[in-house]
Structure 1
Amino acid sequence: MDIIRCIVVDDEPLPLELMEDYIRKTPFLKLVGTYSSPIEALSVVTKDHVDLAFLDIQMTEINGLQLSQLLKNRCKVIFTTAYPQYALNGFELDAVDYLLKPVSFERFLQSIGKAKELIAPETRIEIPVKKVDFSPQTIFVKTGQKIVQVAIDDILYIEGLREYIAIHTQHGKIITLQTFKKTEESLPPGRFIRVHKSYLVAFDKISSIEKGQLFIQRKGIPIGEVYREAFFLAIRQRNFL
């Protein structure tokens, strides 16, 4: 089994102790050291072999985002912070994952699993298999006195508007009294994601992400705090498929 050598950098003692405990419980992880000083941690990484660094973001001397840039190409990084607003920064810095404190052991293991794939990928022999897509290509939606068929490829995003929803497509907007939940359940899994209590978006229609919102055909859609971590995690997972 490949051993992943880790460090933890945090200027608060309790998170340091928690991450140290999690690392010691994981058989294929080896703790190189814990550090309250980012500068000290940087010195260690430049002299010793480190595979993975757990970095807090808000620290004295330099913050975790700055430290991550200094560690680039030396080791992989997982951010641990109490502040979800830095998730986009972490994504842009190509971090393995972004953990919100307090970090559960289950969430820690999920993150480590991703790191393990990146640091020590197993050699695999893949046999090409023709994939057959059995997911639905259209959905039927009641609007007014009629039922219309909507191509799933045409859907840009779905917007909740109090007593009804609006399905925004390449060809216009469809208003229906169908519930948000029922519409979401009728869509093929993996192609759409909830980013706000009032918005469900098509992954392949997102053109950009900036300052807490995403854009689809110049339409800015807010990314709700409740959905932020799951959204950026889903993007990262899609990148590694």
Structure 2
Amino acid sequence: MIRCLAVDDQSYATKIIMDHIAKVPFLEAAGHTTNAIEALSRVQQGDIDLVFLDIQMPDLTGIQFLKLCTGKCKVILTTAYPEYALEGFEQDVVDYLLKPIPFERFLKAAHKAQFLINAAKAKGSDNTMSSIPGPTQQGYCFVKSDSKSKFIRIDHNDILYLEGMRNYVSLMTHDRRIMIYRTLRDFESELPQPPFYRIHRSYIISLDKVRLVNGNTVYIGDQTIPIGETYLTSFLNIIQPKL
């Protein structure tokens, strides 16, 4: 079970989160609070796995909270203001939920957190996922699953994007997400460019899978991916000849 804490300065908002948590079998409600300082103290005790955190709060903002909790738990940001999404992702949050939060979107974020938390636990028990170099010139690579003797072939054409999460990479295809114990930099040096291109310190995308670019956001399927400021100009130079 993943122990969750709901933090929002509006009590009705924490109630919505608690109601959503109660519907997900692998989540356990560990409490809720409207006080960010109280929440930080709880996190530092080490018994919280996941925090659903509002960004705009008095005394301590969500971004300040992230910087102070120093990776003691996973965090999903909740807010009514989409302009904070980029800064949130740069702080390595699991996901970013816009209010009002539909349960379907909440569940998607919860599954993402579950992948990350389980991968971290697997690493602790020396049962981690890793990958081995594949013949990238032939359009595929192999990744090691949670079984030490099992390797999964991934065709490059099936990859939508990769998300870096500290020592892990979340590789997303059309029908599954695979957690890999490697860094995004490893994949950046191995995957062919194009079609793969790094657009953010946490994301590599397949240009072939992009359906829309709007401002500093890329749309792949129903997923929105931010473009980092330092990558924006070079990315636009890459795609403009194709317009």
TM-score (norm 2): 0.58
Q: Of residues 199, 216, 223 in structure 1, which corresponds to 2:234?
A: 216
Give the Cα separation in 1 of the matches to 2:26 and 2:156: 37
Q: Which deviates more, 23-32 or 86-95?
A: 23-32
1:10 CA displacement: 0.2
Give the Cα separation in 2 of the matches to 1:132 and 1:57: 36
Structure with more contact order per residue of length (Cα contacts < 8 Å, sep ≥ 6)? 1
2:153 is aligned to 129
Q: Give runs of aligned pairs for residues 51-66 of structure 1, distance below 5 A.
A: 51-66=49-64
Q: Which has the larger radius of gyration?
A: 1
The one-letter code of the counterpart of 2:229 is E
1:22 is aligned to 20
The one-letter code of the counterpart of 2:118 is A
Q: What RMSD, in angstroms, separates the aligned Cα atoms of the two structures?
A: 3.7
The one-letter code of the counterpart of 1:118 is L
Give the Cα separation in 2 of the matches to 1:200 and 1:30: 33
1:129 CA displacement: 3.2
The C-alpha deviation readout for 1:49-108, integer Å capped at 9, x for no partner, is: 100001100000010010011112210000000000111111110000000000000000
Unpaired segments ≥5 residues, structure 1: 136-151, 157-186, 203-207, 222-241
| DSSP-derived class of the 1:32 partner | strand
Q: Is the 8 A contact 2:46 2:72 kept in 1?
A: no
Give the Cα separation in 2 of the matches to 1:216 and 1:33: 45
1:184 is aligned to none
The one-letter code of the counterpart of 1:209 is G
Give the Cα separation in 1 of the matches to 2:10 and 2:52: 13
Q: Percent identity?
A: 40
1:29 CA displacement: 0.9
TM-score (norm 1): 0.59
Q: Of residues 85, 92, 95 in structure 2, which corresponds to 1:94?
A: 92
Q: Is the 8 A contact 1:52 1:78 kept in 2?
A: yes
1:128 CA displacement: 4.4
The C-alpha deviation readout for 1:23-64, integer Å capped at 9, x for no partner, is: 111111111110100001111112241000011000000100
1:74 is aligned to 72
Give the Cα separation in 1 of the matches to 2:116 and 2:152: 22
1:131 CA displacement: 3.8
1:134 CA displacement: 9.3
1:216 CA displacement: 2.0
Give the Cα separation in 1 of the matches to 2:115 and 2:194: 32
2:10 is aligned to 12
The one-letter code of the counterpart of 2:82 is P
| DSSP-derived class of the 1:216 partner | helix
Q: Is the 8 A contact 2:194 2:207 kept in 1?
A: no
The one-letter code of the counterpart of 2:36 is P
Q: Is the 8 A contact 1:80 1:101 kept in 2?
A: yes
Give the Cα separation in 2 of the matches to 1:21 and 1:195: 35
| DSSP-derived class of the 2:18 partner | helix
